[in-house]
Amino acid sequence: MLRYLYRRGQLRGLLGGSKGWTVVWVIIFGARMLKKMVNREPEVVYSGVLGPGETVIVRHEDQPPTGAEPGRRTKRARRARRTRA
């Protein structure tokens, strides 16, 4: 039922211009976002048992933004290069 109201609010409210349906959509959207923020649990990426003498190295490597074409710089990267030069 909420999915139906959410979709109806999008179509008739945001795209159709109905203030009532826009309010319905905003309430449902806000509730979903609040639920996501409150129920945040850490994601387990790997779980295992270490033997004697074994170590774990955790590192973060910068990766290009998803969807960016190779060799193509983002606005932020271009701006940063200009300010450094």
**pLDDT tens sequence across 3-21:** 999 999 999 998 998 999 9
> What region does 3 belong to: left with phi over 0, alpha with psi -120 to 50, or beta?
alpha
Q: Is residue 27 part of a domain?
A: yes
Q: Is residue 10 part of a domain?
A: yes
CB 12 within 8 A of CB 18: yes
Q: Is residue 75 part of a domain?
A: no
CB 21 within 8 A of CB 6: no
* pTM recorded for the entire structure: 0.47
Q: How far apart are CA 63 and CA 70, in angstroms?
A: 11
Q: How far apart are CA 3 and CA 61, in angstroms?
A: 38
The domain of 32 spans: 2-38
pLDDT the model gives residue 8? 92
User: How many domains are contained in the chain?
Assistant: 1
Q: Is residue 84 part of a domain?
A: no
Q: Is residue 43 part of a domain?
A: no
pLDDT the model gives residue 65? 65
**pLDDT tens sequence across 30-79:** 999 998 888 878 778 888 999 999 998 888 887 766 665 656 667 777 77
